[in-house]
Chain A
Amino acid sequence: GAVVSQHPSWVICKSGTSVKIECRSLDFQATTMFWYRQFPKQSLMLMATSNEGSKATYEQGVEKDKFLINHASLTLSTLTVTSAHPEDSSFYICSARNGPSLRGYTFGSGTRLTVV
């Protein structure tokens, strides 16, 4: 079946540094990728929607300059957390539409980011 590979699975970084999270679709073309953020024991909150070759659409309240999303190819989308702070510590997970079926969504395995 459709697989989205997300890396890294966990990362610890220092405050002020930037961290890049990658999501690759391994056996399908992901024209649309969704990026979610999840705090402990809470739901998934959509951060942004990215389409290959165009600028991402961010949800209200999400800082575009803080969370840079690039969807340069049909198989790769990246989320860069810039100038990370402890409050950015969270679980980040991507999801891709894996075809025309209305039920077709594939999730990455998630990235646990800890900023110290």
Chain B
Amino acid sequence: AQKITQTQPGMFVQEKEAVTLDCTYDTSDPSYGLFWYKQPSSGEMIFLIYQGSYDQQNATEGRYSLNFQKARKSANLVISASQLGDSAMYFCAMRPQGFQGAQKLVFGQGTRLTINP
């Protein structure tokens, strides 16, 4: 069965510092996708970044980058130059099975990030 593990329940970072949120995954599918979402207190899920299992390069989206280490099955999110508005819950998610199956997302437990001024 597919599983996503986020081992950091909470992270506290000073504003303008970089922060790395950890995510490891477990799947036997050769084709899968990895996502990071931000969930502020309002509850909406905000898409941050996506990495496909066959992508050769690590994904980047503005201040967000994904440190994808396939052999170690890790997909850590790096936020550069953190801002107060980055304070939120962050979820790592995986879509197994490529184009097959229901393509449902499996979520990790989440990491609550707090940016201190």
Contact = CB atoms under 8 A, between A and B. Distances in A.
Interface residues of A, number: 22
Contacts of A112: 43
Contacts of A45: 107
B103 interface: yes
B43 A109 contact: yes
Nearest to B47: A105
Interface in A15-54: 32, 34, 38, 41-46, 49
Contacts of B105: 34, 46, 95, 105
Contacts of A109: 42-44
A107 B72 CA distance: 29
Contacts, number: 53
Interface string B67-111: 000000000000000000000000100010011001111111110
Contact of A43 (B33, B50, B110): B110
A112 B112 CA distance: 20
A110 B98 contact: no
A41 B105 CA distance: 19
Contacts of B108: 43
11 contacts: A32-B102, A32-B103, A42-B110, A44-B91, A45-B107, A46-B106, A49-B104, A97-B103, A103-B33, A107-B45, A110-B45
Interface of A: 32, 34, 38, 41-46, 49, 57, 91, 93, 95, 97, 102-103, 105, 107, 109-110, 112
Given A41-B112, A110-B45, 19 more contacts: A32-B102, A34-B104, A34-B105, A44-B91, A46-B104, A46-B105, A49-B102, A49-B104, A91-B43, A95-B105, A97-B103, A102-B98, A103-B35, A103-B50, A107-B37, A107-B44, A107-B45, A109-B42, A109-B44
A-B pairs with lowest CB-CB distance, top 10: A107-B45, A103-B50, A110-B43, A44-B107, A43-B107, A49-B102, A109-B44, A43-B109, A102-B33, A43-B110
